[in-house]
Structures are given as structure tokens and as C-alpha cells.
Chains A and B, each alone.
Chain A
Amino acid sequence: SQKIEQNSEALNIQEGKTATLTCNYTNYSPAYLQWYRQDPGRGPVFLLLIRENEKEKRKERLKVTFDTTLKQSLFHITASQPADSATYLCALDGGATNKLIFGTGTLLAVQP
């Protein structure tokens, strides 16, 4: 079955630095991959989608890369701010119904 791994430990970085989160997957070839942000007690919020034929996608301070050979996606937040502190979830498409298969998420803490 599909397996998605994200950094299990929290990532602590200093304000202004670039945060890099990793998503690795096995036993699957997704047509696309998505990143979501989740704050405590709230539902996930969509951030970015990258398709299998795209190498990189950017949106403001966010950048996502997708390496289908390595089966890995990297999510970068540049010039990080304390307001970026949250859990970030990686999700793969789950087939024809477009259900999402989520990783466990990585907790990012940006220190002022």
C-alpha cells in the first residue's frame, strides 16, 4: 500500500530563515501532490498543488519541488515568520475519486 513519510520531529527555525519540509512516498506514482497547512483545532487549508510533469511551483514565499524519480517533494518557506508556525501536511492523489492520502504532517515552529 502507499506510504507517505514526513519529518516526524518538529522543525524549529529562526525568523527570517528558510524552512524546508520533506515528503517521501513509496509504492505509488501520484498524478499530483498537494501541500496543506493545519492550525490546532482547525481543518487543513490548501496551499499548493504540483503535478507529476512539473518540477517546481511557487506562490509568494512558498516553493514546492517534485522529484518523481526520488519519489520526494520538498516544501520551502522563505523569509519565515512566526505566523508560519503550524503543521504542514503533504497529500497525494488517491486515484479516480481524487481522495487524498495524507502524510502525518510536520510541525513547524518559527522563533522570533
Chain B
Amino acid sequence: DTGVSQDPRHKITKRGQNVTFRCDPISEHNRLYWYRQTLGQGPEFLTYFQNEAQLEKSRLLSDRFSAERPKGSFSTLEIQRTEQGDSAMYLCASSRHDLLSYEQYFGPGTRLTVT
């Protein structure tokens, strides 16, 4: 399978704990996005990487959130001191840096439940 993969698929954690999610994009894609989706809503943009550089962060991304993409390959999203409001589906997407190609390929998501 050469699609976008995310790990874990599900995570249950207690409030105050730290969690880390991983995303492996499609190998030839140099753009990587993180989105968050809550029930009944569309995905909301969190942050964007082009290769290893983090070029944009949403104001939704508080200082408890940090994302990295070392060597421009896989990416991690860490949430520190989780709160119940962080419960959501975290989606990763990748795309080619190509003027003719704008579609994004999404992974299956990581569903986070904070108790």
C-alpha cells in the first residue's frame, strides 16, 4: 500500500498526559498537512510542511501542540498536557509540489479520546 499511513489509529489518554502521532506520507510527496476534525465538522487546518520546513501554523495550534518533519519524510504531531477539548480525529495529508496538482491524499486518521 503506497498511500498515507497514520499511527496509531486510536488513542485513549487521560487528561494531562502527552501523546504523539505519526504520519507517513506518500513517498514522492514533499508537502504534508495536519488537520483536526470533530464530529459533524469538516477538517480544520493545523499546520503545513514543505519538505522539512514548517511553513504555516494555524492559530488553532496552541503552544501545547508541536509538529516536526525531520528529513522531510514522516511527520509527528505531539500534544502536551492533553485536555478534553483535544478529543478529535487528527488527519494527515500529503500532496505533490506541482502547479498542476493540488489534490491532497489523506491518511485514515488518528482518533484521540481524552478522558
Contacts and interface: CB of A to CB of B under 8 A. Distances in A.
Of the four ranges (under 10, 10 to 19, 20 to 34, 35 or more), the interface on chain B belongs to 20 to 34
Nearest to A4: B42
Contact of B104 (A46, A101, A104): A46
Nearest to A107: B40
Nearest to B95: A98
Contacts of B102: 32, 34, 49, 93, 98
Interface residues of B, dominant DSSP: strand
A46 B4 CA distance: 13
A97 interface: yes
Contacts of A4: 42
Given A34-B102, A99-B48, A104-B40, A43 B109 contact: yes
A89 interface: yes
B45 interface: yes
Interface in A72-112: 89, 91, 93-94, 97-105
A43 B106 contact: yes
Nearest to B93: A43
A10 B112 CA distance: 26
Interface size class of A (residues with CB under 8 A): 20 to 34
A41 B111 CA distance: 9
A43 B107 contact: yes
A98 B31 contact: yes
A21 B89 CA distance: 24
Interface in B81-115: 91, 93, 95, 102-109, 111
A49 B105 CA distance: 13
11 contacts: A4-B42, A34-B102, A41-B108, A42-B108, A42-B109, A43-B93, A49-B103, A89-B43, A98-B31, A98-B102, A102-B42
